[in-house]
């Protein structure tokens, strides 16, 4: 797989009991396939440490605002969106395969942003509500799409992604 940010080959790295794809020695970005975040669970702290080290070993600077393509899906552009209600951290997500790309430093920022596990959980829940509202508003605005296209599967996958992120953020 190719790095969505600097086009180098991604390297599979074991972090805790999960495997993620990292731009090792490149831009230090991290790719999470759908569901990989879910697996962080109890080892989240160890996993996060491994990944933060990868970010620190980065040598290539990338433009955080440039368009990224999904390393898994052909011709699929990653959607840049705010992760938190305060709109301080942006993440890239593929709405097709639900994979997530974090640029270098984003993981550290996310982890430093919330002081307690309760704060994090609260922020994530608020963010989930906000995203759902935005998503529904966008669909309504599009007009051509039927509401039923916003089906249960989409909703479940999205919740699973947020749950995974909660795990990634770790425990105090
Ligand atoms: Zn890269
Ligand atoms: Zn994808």
Specify the residue for token string 């002081």: 115
pLDDT of residue 42: 40
Look at residue 169 and give its three-state secondary structure: coil
Alpha-carbon distance of 40 to 21, in angstroms, equals: 14
**Would you place residue 43 in the very low, low, confident or very high pLDDT band (cuts 50, 70, 90)?**
very low
Answer whether residue 57 is part of any domain: yes
Answer whether residue 3 is part of any domain: no
Contact (Cβ atoms closer than 8 angstroms) between residue 17 and residue 39 = yes
pLDDT of residue 153: 53
Q: Which domain holds residue 89?
A: 11-168
**Average pLDDT for 114-134:** 70
- The two most distant CA atoms of the chain are separated, in Å, by 47
Answer whether residue 76 is part of any domain: yes
Side by side, the strands of the sheet bearing 18-22 are 11-15, 18-22, 30-32, 100-102, 90-93, 79-82
Structural domain total, the chain? 1
Answer whether residue 132 is part of any domain: yes
Answer whether residue 5 is part of any domain: no
**Average pLDDT for 134-146:** 66
**Average pLDDT for 93-98:** 88
Answer whether residue 1 is part of any domain: no
Pick the ligand that lies closest to the CA of residue 57.
Answer: 1
CA of 94 to the centre of ligand 2 (A): 5
Answer whether residue 48 is part of any domain: yes
Answer whether residue 36 is part of any domain: yes
CA of 6 to the centre of ligand 1 (A): 4
Pick the ligand that lies closest to the CA of residue 11.
Answer: 1
**Average pLDDT for 143-168:** 59
Q: Which of 53-57, 64-68, 99-103 has the lowest mean pLDDT?
A: 53-57
């Amino acid at each position: 797989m190719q790095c969505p940010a600097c086009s180098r080959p991604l390297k599979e790295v074991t972090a805790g009991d999960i495997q993620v794809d990292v731009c090792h020695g490149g831009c230090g970005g991290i790719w999470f396939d759908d569901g990989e975040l879910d697996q962080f669970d109890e080892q989240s702290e160890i996993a996060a440490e491994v990944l933060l080290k990868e970010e620190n070993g980065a040598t290539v600077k990338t433009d955080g605002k440039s368009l990224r393509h999904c390393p898994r899906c052909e011709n699929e552009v990653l959607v840049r969106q705010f992760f938190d209600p305060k709109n301080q951290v942006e993440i890239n997500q593929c709405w097709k395969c639900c994979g997530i790309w974090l640029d270098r430093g984003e993981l550290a920022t996310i982890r430093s942003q919330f002081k307690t596990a309760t704060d994090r959980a609260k922020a994530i829940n608020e963010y989930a509500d906000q995203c759902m509202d935005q998503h529904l508003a966008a669909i309504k605005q599009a007009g051509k799409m039927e509401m039923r296209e916003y089906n249960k599967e989409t909703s479940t996958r999205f919740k699973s992604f947020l749950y995974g992120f909660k795990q990634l953020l770790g425990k105090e």
